[in-house]
Amino acid sequence: MSPTWQIVWKDCRRLRWPLVFWAALIAGQFLLGAQILRQVESEPIVLRRTLEMLDGLRLILWVGQVFFGYILVAALVQEDPLSDQRAWWVTRPISGARLLGAKLAALVLCFWVLPLVVMLPWWLNRGYDGREMALASLQLTVAQGGLSLFAFGLATVTTTAASFVVANGVLIFAWICCVTTILVDSPPVAPIVSLTRFCLAILIALGTLVAISVHQFLTRRTLRSWAMLGAGFALTLLVVRFSTADWMGRYSWAGSEPSELAAVSLQVGQVDFLDNGRTAEADESIVNMRIGVRADHVPVGFAFTGGEFQGTLRWPDGMKLERSGWVNTYPGPVAWQLMGAVHAPEEGAGRMQALSRAPSMLVTARLPRSFVEKLRNQTPVWQGHLQLYVFLGEVVAEVPLKAGAQDGRKGHRVQVLSLEHAANGGLLVDTAESEPVLALDLIPGFYSLMGFGASGRVGVQGMFYALCSRDRTKCLPLAEARQLYTLAGTVGLERRKFSFTAEQLADPAHPNWLDDAVIVKVAFRRVGTVNRDVRTDALIESDFSRQQRTAPRRRP
Amino acid sequence: MNIIETINLTRRFGRTEAVHGLALAVPEGSVFALLGPNGAGKSTTIKLLMNLIPPTAGEARVLGVASTALGPRQRAQIGYVAENQALPLWMTVREYLDYCRAFYPSWDRTLEQTMLTRFELPETRTLAKLSRGMLMKVALLSSLAYRPKLLVLDEPFSGLDPLVRDELVRGMLEVSEQGGWTVLISSHDIEEVERLCDWIAVMDEGRLQFAEATEGLLARFRRIEVSLQGGPAELGSPPPGWLGLERTGDLVRVIDSRYQREATERACRERFPTGTVTAQPLTLREISIALARAGRAARKGAAA
């Protein structure tokens, strides 16, 4: 065995029992996840509480796994400490580069291969195919790699577990204090700039940790490494305070565009003004302008769900507004198309405003009240850039409406756990689902923090369900009551109850259609972005918006 | 040829100068003892030589390479044992030796087995369960088994009982008989290393007092006692090489660091014409104490 592998083997042996415990924490989450998918209770409230309790336990295991894993990475590095003159390895024929190589190899084995081996049965159990498993492994790499890098870097400049924990605590506390102080005094910025600042800060922090890790392994000059850490820390603070970089404007426009979408054209045309009332200033109103976007030549199956814009509105009298923000979209019609529904059924009244079915941009401005009326006569010109997220929808499950039936493709699995026929003729369907999720889904609250929409999930956005007859002559949108949504090892777990009224189910023409009905699930997977520079000579105020315009509200 | 050489080697910790302008040469094949009281700068010197800490100024060369550039190739020829060295305490003796072996192509399994037997080390016991003496034996064994060209021992016997110390010394002597290596051993107690060393250097307050072959050192140091019979009242300033001149009643004592029988007797007769001169050899311990005292007195004088 080569000296490098001798070190790797030694580290693995040294950490074997803690690693077994850590792996048990991971496996425990899957066992609880499996139970979440299996749990059956007739009483919805009892079911929800039981599921929440199971999920609470799973969360405890997850927190334990993250925390313990973080400490274990540090223990791996500190097994051969770099900042201790008494360390065994420093007087032996082991170069810093060799030790770094050995530690990285041990890191991969213990914190990537091991969890992968533990997760593999779970992924297979949830119906992941090769592609899904490769993606899930990639997610694991990102999540575990990011976390490990922080622990790895800090462990190189500390000697014991206690000093490592203290260093973490001090750094986190200092960072929170500094950032809070900075943000309180700093002028407000666009959400995308905040997002860019956050991403830049993370990148600088990771870069700093990589630099001090390599530096410390190669030179063992701990004071200098701490100085580098301090410099990186200060740089992140400067970025958080002063960076005006806008990745949306400068970098993220260069998105991936699937070749099938080369012919897609985007146009803006209709605008809808909504006067949302006065501000604290006497002669000022908050005006929302919803600008409609039309996409032409979109191939079947593709939908735009969300996006970003950056542009300028110009009025004939010279007034100018520069705004950036999010594009709202709704891919429902595409889902019906994919299901093969003979006609797109009407959805619940008021569920989704008609305008939001097509992409639209929401521009908010504080304008003089005298200007609000003028807006209706002088609609502006819009020039800017649109980036729409492209999702490809596909039917991922068709489950017969029978207790115990299940189906799924591409990592999705839907199982009907029970059917309850109500006395009034209605039907309650209890389902358990699992689906692949993206790495960022593993960070609770990430999307909320970043200001993403209520759906909260970019990876598999827009799940659509319908109860359809086999020949698709009848399709009912499913009114769902989500019991629980949680995550376990890159797998999203969902428990839902779908309810149907007797009126919905009744069909005189096909009285037995339910016997052969299936629950169809359509999932949209992000496949890239479409980027276009768009310009209009004039926005046209939409008829629809005239009807929807709200009356100005007066503040008390 | 010197296996270790330092030129103006200096190391400061803040305002404290732990090692000052050290010029040391350790001849190849010697067993070189670096002596001095606690805080003299011995361990710092060894850390500088082993590149455990960087020098503030000056340079050290070990095995012909700058100490700051010591690489795996040189380290494979250096054995290092220190009293506070961290060992993987969770390993058994056998696992530890197996682990060490992978890093040394020249590892001698026969020698390993011989020393295991000699030191009576329990192979299946974890290092954590070994006594301090046993741990030092394991550390020494793991540094001897690959027959290093240079063995560096930093206070190896500190706190060990005489029996263990003797076992370690005998073990080292046994290996050294096979020749071909150099030993640098630091200690605050000369008696610990007296049997081993053939070269001695004494440090005090970060400075090198002297470095010399033991044989020559013992030959040139003598305690001179002069019994006076109504001699001069004043001792006067001592000639160069006389250390710690003092008078107690009719007896004058001095340590001559440049002893040559005839010259010393002549010098005594010139100063104390009526005295009777006797010369006694000194132990290494007495020599090092006398030199340390003289050095401190000289520095105090210079400071004043």
Which of B13, B43, B44, B52 to substitute to test the interface with A, most A CBs within 10 Å? B52
The pLDDT of residue A451: 44
Which ipTM was obtained for this model?
0.84
Q: Of B50, B72, B80, which has the smallest distance from its Cβ to A94's Cβ?
A: B72
Q: Which residues contact A35 (CB under 8 A, 6 or more apart)?
A: A54
Distances in Å between the alpha carbon of A15 and those of A102, A106, A160, B127, B226? Answer: 14, 10, 15, 17, 71
Interface of A with B (CB under 8 A): 1-3, 6, 10, 14, 81, 84-88, 90-95, 98, 221
| B96 and A CB contact within 8 Å | no
Per-residue pLDDT band at B55 (split at 50, 70, 90): very high
Mean pLDDT over the full length of chain A: 79
CB A383, CB A353: distance < 8 Å: no
- B134 vs chain A: nearest CA distance in angstroms? 17
Which of A10, A91, A94, A217 to substitute to test the interface with B, most B CBs within 10 Å? A91
The pLDDT tens digits of the residues spanning A137-165 come to 877 887 788 888 899 999 999 988 899 99
Instruction: Write out chain B residues lying below 8 Å of A10, CB-based.
Output: 88, 99
Averaged pLDDT for residues B125-154: 90
Query: Are B88 and A94 in contact (CB < 8 Å)?
Result: no
Instruction: Write out chain B residues lying below 8 Å of A90, CB-based.
Output: 50, 52
More confident residue, A471 or A28: A28
Query: Are B84 and A95 in contact (CB < 8 Å)?
Result: no
Which of A76, A80, A92 to substitute to test the interface with B, most B CBs within 10 Å? A92
The answer to whether residue B210 scores a pLDDT higher than 90 is no
Minimum Cα–Cα distance from B103: chain A residue: A3
Reference A437, options A476, A469, A411, A400; nearest CA is: A411
Minimum Cα–Cα distance from B48: chain A residue: A85
Angle at B69 between CA B73 and CA B8, to 5 degrees: 130
Which of A163-177, A520-534, B105-119 shows the lowest per-residue confidence on average (mean pLDDT)?
Answer: A520-534
The pLDDT tens digits of the residues spanning A154-206 come to 999 998 889 999 999 999 999 888 888 887 877 777 766 777 888 888 889 99
Distances in Å between the alpha carbon of A413 and those of A404, A434, A485? Answer: 12, 5, 14
The pLDDT of residue B172: 76
**What is the Cα Rg of chain A in Å?**
28
The answer to whether residue A20 scores a pLDDT higher than 80 is yes
More confident residue, B247 or A124: A124
Instruction: Write out chain B residues lying below 8 Å of A75, CB-based.
Output: none
The answer to whether residue A426 scores a pLDDT higher than 60 is yes
More confident residue, A422 or A57: A57
Instruction: Write out chain A residues lying below 8 Å of B43, CB-based.
Output: none
Query: Are B72 and A93 in contact (CB < 8 Å)?
Result: yes
Query: Are A85 and B103 in contact (CB < 8 Å)?
Result: no
Per-residue pLDDT band at A458 (split at 50, 70, 90): very low
Question: Cα separation of A517 and A501, whole Å?
Answer: 16
Per-residue pLDDT band at A350 (split at 50, 70, 90): very low
- B215 vs chain A: nearest CA distance in angstroms? 32
- Report residue A139 as tokens: 């997610």
The pLDDT of residue A101: 96
| B14 and A CB contact within 8 Å | no
More confident residue, A428 or A14: A14
- B47 vs chain A: nearest CA distance in angstroms? 8
Query: Are A95 and B71 in contact (CB < 8 Å)?
Result: yes
Give percent of chain B above pLDDT 90: 29
DSSP string, A355-391: GGGS-EEEEEEEEEHHHHHHHHHSPPEEEEEEEEEEE
Averaged pLDDT for residues B41-67: 92
Query: Are A92 and B75 in contact (CB < 8 Å)?
Result: yes
Going by their DSSP bridges, the two strands B207-213 and B65-66 should be labelled as unpaired
The answer to whether residue A440 scores a pLDDT higher than 60 is no
The pLDDT of residue A250: 52
Going by their DSSP bridges, the two strands B182-187 and B31-35 should be labelled as parallel
- A169 vs chain B: nearest CA distance in angstroms? 27
Burial class (CB in 10 A: 0-12, 13-18, 19+), B249: exposed
More confident residue, B101 or A504: B101
Per-residue pLDDT band at A9 (split at 50, 70, 90): very high
Instruction: Write out chain B residues lying below 8 Å of A14, CB-based.
Output: 88, 90
Averaged pLDDT for residues A244-250: 66
Which of B85, B96, B100, B146 to substitute to test the interface with A, most A CBs within 10 Å? B85
Query: Are B90 and A98 in contact (CB < 8 Å)?
Result: no
| B139 and A CB contact within 8 Å | no
CB A258, CB A211: distance < 8 Å: no
Q: Burial letters for A25-55: b for 16+ Cβ neighbours within 10 Å, e otherwise?
A: bbbbbbbbbbebbebeeeeeeebbebbeebb
- A78 vs chain B: nearest CA distance in angstroms? 12
The answer to whether residue A449 scores a pLDDT higher than 60 is no
Ranges of each domain in chain A: 3-250, 259-390+531-548, 392-523
- A28 vs chain B: nearest CA distance in angstroms? 29
How many other C-beta atoms can be found within 10 angstroms of the C-beta atom of residue A94?
Answer: 21
Q: Burial letters for A404-427: b for 16+ Cβ neighbours within 10 Å, e otherwise?
A: ebbbbbbbbbbbbbeeeeeeeeeb
Question: Cα separation of B103 and A7, whole Å?
Answer: 10
Query: Are A92 and B84 in contact (CB < 8 Å)?
Result: no
Question: Which residue has tokens 């002559």?
Answer: A473
Helix (H) or strand (E) holding B23: none
Query: Are B102 and A2 in contact (CB < 8 Å)?
Result: yes
Q: Which amino acid is at A527?
A: V
Per-residue pLDDT band at A77 (split at 50, 70, 90): very high
Query: Are B90 and A14 in contact (CB < 8 Å)?
Result: yes
Minimum Cα–Cα distance from B152: chain A residue: A91
The pLDDT of residue A337: 64
Q: Of B75, B84, B99, which has the smallest distance from its Cβ to A91's Cβ?
A: B75
CB A216, CB A229: distance < 8 Å: no
Q: Of B52, B73, B103, which has the smallest distance from its Cβ to A90's Cβ?
A: B52
The answer to whether residue A454 scores a pLDDT higher than 50 is no
Task: Count Cα neighbours of A204 within 13 Å in the Cβ-side half-sphere.
Answer: 20
Which of A51-55, A323-327, A487-491, B99-103 shows the lowest per-residue confidence on average (mean pLDDT)?
Answer: A323-327
The pLDDT of residue A546: 42
The pLDDT of residue A254: 54
Distances in Å between the alpha carbon of B141 and those of A401, B129, B234? Answer: 75, 17, 57
Which of A4, A15, A85, A224 to substitute to test the interface with B, most B CBs within 10 Å? A85
The pLDDT of residue A470: 82
The pLDDT tens digits of the residues spanning B229-254 come to 765 556 677 778 888 888 887 888 88
- Report residue A122 as tokens: 């779970």
Minimum Cα–Cα distance from A81: chain B residue: B86
| B87 and A CB contact within 8 Å | yes
Averaged pLDDT for residues B171-191: 77
Query: Are A94 and B75 in contact (CB < 8 Å)?
Result: yes
Instruction: Write out chain B residues lying below 8 Å of A91, CB-based.
Output: 50, 52, 75, 78, 80, 85
Instruction: Write out chain A residues lying below 8 Å of B78, CB-based.
Output: 91
Ranges of each domain in chain B: 2-216, 222-281
Query: Are B86 and A88 in contact (CB < 8 Å)?
Result: yes
Beta strands in A258-380 (DSSP E): 265-278, 284-296, 302-314, 320-328, 360-368
The answer to whether residue B41 scores a pLDDT higher than 70 is yes
The answer to whether residue A353 scores a pLDDT higher than 50 is no
Mean pLDDT over the full length of chain B: 86
- Report residue A546 as tokens: 């005239």
Question: Cα separation of A152 and B280, whole Å?
Answer: 64
Number of H helices and E strands in chain B, helices first, is 10, 15
Instruction: Write out chain B residues lying below 8 Å of A95, CB-based.
Output: 71-72
The pLDDT of residue B59: 92
Per-residue pLDDT band at A423 (split at 50, 70, 90): confident
Instruction: Write out chain A residues lying below 8 Å of B86, CB-based.
Output: 81, 84, 86-88
User: What is the topology classification, in CATH, of domain B2-216?
Assistant: Rossmann fold (3.40.50)
